[in-house]
Amino acid sequence: MIRTLGLVLAVSAAIGGCAMSGDEVVVSGSDVRPNLEAGYAAAVADARRLPEEVARDPLRKPAEMLAFARLEPGDVIADVRPEEGYFTRLFAPTVGPTGHVYAVVPNQTAARENAFADAMAATYPNVSRVTGALEEMAFDRPLDVVFMGQEYHDFVIPRFNVDVARMNAAVYAALKPGGLYVILDHQSAPGAGVSVVGTLHRIEASALRAQVEAAGFIFDGESTAVANPADDHSLSVFDPAIRGRSDQFVYRFRKPG
């Protein structure tokens, strides 16, 4: 299903507001559409979700994330490096039996993470595992959405050995015209750029945006659903003092067309 930004974002007052500036749309919370809200709630309540993942919901804001990704029944989405599958298990019931979720496992982590993806494919008939080089991502049908949750910064770490420009180009090629590229990641301090991706596991949002736009994407919105202004960006996201509560940004990019 092809998305266009249009002139109106349906944002209920109970969920949040939005402000438009130039080519940017900054969204507080999410832009859930009333006709899809029940589907998002059902995905969050799905009994197949793991208890330890459900326990993380207050911090991870799953309904808001589904809404921001603008997922609909019938959509085809790639969840890039899903690991244990927190988001895959939400995406699968959201897109439903007429949609599909590709759990994309990078070669670099396949030895550990293929098993996670295979377990999800066994649980959800509309999930399948794709393992390979991120720079060569390809699918048997065009995608509506590509999602990366707290993983993009890892791909920038030199030891991960990913050509990020080629990866973003592969995402661009895999999406339908109008398709969305949604990235959730940990914010770094202003001016840090990509300098702390391997130490603090954070990336400056503006640096990520520049890399993605260089592939031809158009910035389509930002969610503040998982932002934390109390985080001073000085700690590793794995530090017990901040783990699970780091300041995070969510950017949505659109392939023209």
pLDDT: which is higher, 1 or 177? 177
Query: Confidence band (pLDDT; 50, 70, 90) for 225?
Result: very high
Collect all residues with Cβ–Cβ distance below 8 Å to 55 and sequence separation of at least 6. none
Q: What is the 3-state secondary structure (H, E, C) of the chain?
A: CCCCCCCCCCCCCCCCCEEEECCEEEECCCCCCHHHHHHHHHHHHCCCCCHHHHCCHHHHCHHHHHHHCCCCCCCEEEEECCCCCCCHHHHHHHHCCCCEEEEEEEHHHHHHHHHHHHHHHHHCCCEEEEEECHHHCCCCCCEEEEEEECCHHHHHCHHHCCCHHHHHHHHHHHEEEEEEEEEEEEECCCCCCCCCCCCCCCECHHHHHHHHHCCCCEEEEEECCCCCCCCCCCCCCCCCCCCCCCCEEEEEEECCC
| Average pLDDT in the chain | 90
Q: Could you tell me if residue 89 is inside a domain?
A: yes
The number of domains in the chain is: 1
What is the distance between the alpha carbons of residues 19 and 158, in angstroms, rounded to a whole number? 36
User: Residue 172 pLDDT more than 90?
Assistant: yes
Query: Confidence band (pLDDT; 50, 70, 90) for 3?
Result: very low
Work out the number of other CB atoms within 10 angstroms of the CB of residue 128: 16
The pLDDT of residue 32: 55
pLDDT digits (tens, 9 = 90+) for 13-49: 233 333 333 344 444 444 556 689 999 999 999 999 9
* Mean local confidence (pLDDT), 48-56: 96
User: Residue 6 pLDDT more than 80?
Assistant: no
Q: Could you tell me if residue 239 is inside a domain?
A: yes
Give the lowest-confidence range in 16-20, 97-101, 163-167, 219-223. Answer: 16-20
Q: The domain spanning residue 65 has which CATH number? A: 3.40.50.150
* Mean local confidence (pLDDT), 205-223: 98
The pLDDT of residue 31: 58
pLDDT digits (tens, 9 = 90+) for 111-170: 999 999 999 999 999 999 999 999 999 999 999 999 999 999 999 999 999 999 999 999
Parent domain of 28? 18-254
What sign does the CA torsion over 6, 8, 229, 191 have? positive
The pLDDT of residue 13: 29
Q: Could you tell me if residue 10 is inside a domain?
A: no
The pLDDT of residue 30: 45
The pLDDT of residue 96: 97
Q: Could you tell me if residue 12 is inside a domain?
A: no
Q: Could you tell me if residue 241 is inside a domain?
A: yes
Percent of the chain with pLDDT over 70: 87
What is the distance between the alpha carbons of residues 125 and 122, in angstroms, rounded to a whole number? 7
* Mean local confidence (pLDDT), 200-217: 98
Q: Could you tell me if residue 114 is inside a domain?
A: yes
Output the six-digit token pair for 199.
Answer: 């130490």
Q: Could you tell me if residue 202 is inside a domain?
A: yes
Q: Could you tell me if residue 2 is inside a domain?
A: no
Phi, psi of 141 (to 5 degrees): -160, 155
